[in-house]
Amino acid sequence: MINVKENISLKAHNTFGLDVRARLVALLHQPEDLMPLLEHYRDVPVLFLGEGSNVLFLEDFDGLVILNRLEGGIEILDRNRESIHITVSGGMHWHDVVRYAVEQDWQGIESLALIPGKAGTAPFQNIGAYGNELADVLTACYAIDTRTGRNLRLRKEECGFGYRNSLFKREPGRYFIHRLELRLYPGRRPQVRYRALENYLTERGIKHPAIQDVFRAVIDIRLSKLPDPAVTGNAGSFFKNPVIDRRHYEELKQRYPDLPAYPAGNERVKVPAGWLIDRAGWKGFREGDAGVHPKQALVLVNYGQATGFQIYKLAQRIMADVFDRYGIELEPEVRIIRNATKQ
Ligand code: FAD
Ligand code: EPU
- Report the C-alpha dihedral over residues 30, 35, 36, 42, rounded to 10 degrees: 140
Reference 146, options 175, 105, 112; nearest CA is 175
CATH code: domain of residue 244: 3.90.78.10
Does residue 32 sit in the same domain as residue 170? no
| 335-337 and 55-57 beta bridge pairing | parallel
- The average pLDDT across 108-134 equals 98
Among the three residues 223, 248, 270, which one is the final residue of a domain in this structure?
A: 223
- Is 215 inside a domain boundary? yes
Do both 87 and 142 map to the same domain?
Answer: yes
- pLDDT at residue 232 is higher than 60: yes
Whether 342 maps to a domain, the answer reads no
How many independent structural domains does the chain possess?
3
Measured by CA distance, the residue closest to atom 14 of ligand 1 is: 49
Tell me whether residue 97 is in a domain: yes
Q: How confident is the model at residue 231 (pLDDT cuts 50, 70, 90)?
A: very high
**Residue 63: predicted pLDDT:** 96
Are both 127 and 240 inside the same structural domain?
Answer: no
Task: Spell out the SS3 assignment of 150-197.
Answer: EEEEEEHHHCCCECCECHHHHCCCCEEEEEEEEEEEECCCCCCCCHHH
Look at ligand 1, atom 25, and give the residue with the nearest C-alpha.
Answer: 127
Q: Which domain holds residue 326?
A: 227-337
Average pLDDT of 65-71? 98
Same domain (yes/no): 95, 217: yes
Integer Cα distance of 203 and 146 in angstroms: 50
Is the predicted pLDDT of residue 92 greater than 90, yes or no? yes
Residue 250 domain-assigned?
yes
Phi-psi region at 265: left, alpha or beta (left = phi > 0; alpha = psi -120 to 50): left
Please tell me whether residues 234 and 199 are part of one structural domain: no
- The pLDDT of residue 335 is above 70: yes
**Boundary residue ending a domain (200, 223, 246):** 223
Both 29 and 82 in one domain: the answer is no
Ligand nearest, relative to CA of residue 242: 2
Neighbours of 21 (CB within 10 A): 17
> 333 CB under 6 A from ligand 2?
yes
Q: Does 248 map to a domain? A: yes
> Are 152 and 124 contained in the same domain?
yes
Give the mutation target among 275, 293, 301, 330 for probing the ligand 2 site: most ligand atoms within 8 A of CB.
275
Q: Is 261 within 8 Å of 243 (Cβ atoms)?
A: no
DSSP class per residue in 60-78: -EEEEEEEE-----EEEEE
Rounded to the nearest integer, the mean pLDDT of the chain is 96
CA of 298 to the centre of ligand 2 (A): 7
Which of 298, 300, 322, 330 has the most ligand 2 atoms within 8 A of CB, as the residue to mutate?
298
Yes or no: say if 129 and 296 are a contact pair by the CB < 8 Å rule. no
Report how far ligand 1's centroid is from the alpha carbon of 203 (Å): 32
Q: Report the predicted TM-score, pTM, of the whole model to 2 decimal places.
A: 0.97
Same domain, 217 and 231: no
- Amino acid identity for residue 99 in this structure: R
Using one digit for the tens of pLDDT, what is the confidence trace for 292-320? Answer: 999 999 999 999 999 999 999 999 999 99
Say if residues 162 and 333 touch (Cβ distance below 8 Å).
no
Q: Do 109 and 176 belong together in one domain? A: yes
User: In this structure, are 141 and 232 located in the same domain?
Assistant: no
CATH number at residue 167: 3.30.465.10
- pLDDT score for 265: 87
Asked whether residue 331 is assigned to any structural domain, the reply reads yes
Of 124-133, 203-212, 259-268, 308-317, the poorest mean pLDDT is in 259-268
Q: Domain check: are 49 and 86 in the same one?
A: no
pLDDT band at residue 46, thresholds of 50, 70 and 90?
Answer: very high
Ligand 2 pocket, 87 CB below 6 A?
no
Residue of 237, 295, 300, 330 to mutate, ligand 2, most atoms within 8 A of C-beta: 237
Check whether residue 91 and residue 205 sit in a common domain.
yes
Considering every ligand atom, which ligand is closest to the CA of 55? 1
User: What are the residue ranges of helices labelled H in the chain?
Assistant: 34-40, 94-103, 167-170, 195-203, 211-225, 246-255, 273-279, 308-326
pLDDT in tens, 182-211: 999 999 999 998 999 999 999 999 999 999
CB 50 within 8 A of CB 329: no
- Please compute the mean of the pLDDT values over residues 267-273 and round it to a whole number: 96
Q: Which atom of ligand 2 is nearest to the CA of 237?
A: 42
Q: How high is the pLDDT of residue 266?
A: 85
Which tops the pLDDT comparison, 266 or 289? 289
* Rounded mean pLDDT, 143-161: 98
Confidence of residue 342 (pLDDT cuts 50, 70, 90): low
The answer to whether residue 291 sits within a structural domain is yes
CA distances from 36 to 28, 32, 147, 278 (A): 11, 8, 13, 48
d(CA 19, CA 337): 13
| Mean of pLDDT values over 249-259 | 97
Atom of ligand 2 nearest to the CA of 226: 44
Which residues participate in catalysis according to the annotation? 164, 237, 333
Last residue of a domain, one of 202, 223, 244: 223
Confidence of residue 170 (pLDDT cuts 50, 70, 90): very high
Nearest ligand (C-alpha, residue 337):
1
CATH number assigned to the domain comprising residue 16: 3.30.43.10
User: Could you tell me what percent of the chain has a pLDDT over 70?
Assistant: 99
* Ligand 2 neighbourhood includes 240 CB (under 6 angstroms): yes
Per-residue confidence (pLDDT) for residue 341, from 0 to 100: 61
- List ligand 1's pocket residues with C-beta within 6 A: 15, 47-55, 68, 90, 115-118, 120-122, 124-125, 127-129, 168, 172, 175-177, 226, 229, 234-236, 335
Q: Is residue 269 part of a domain?
A: yes
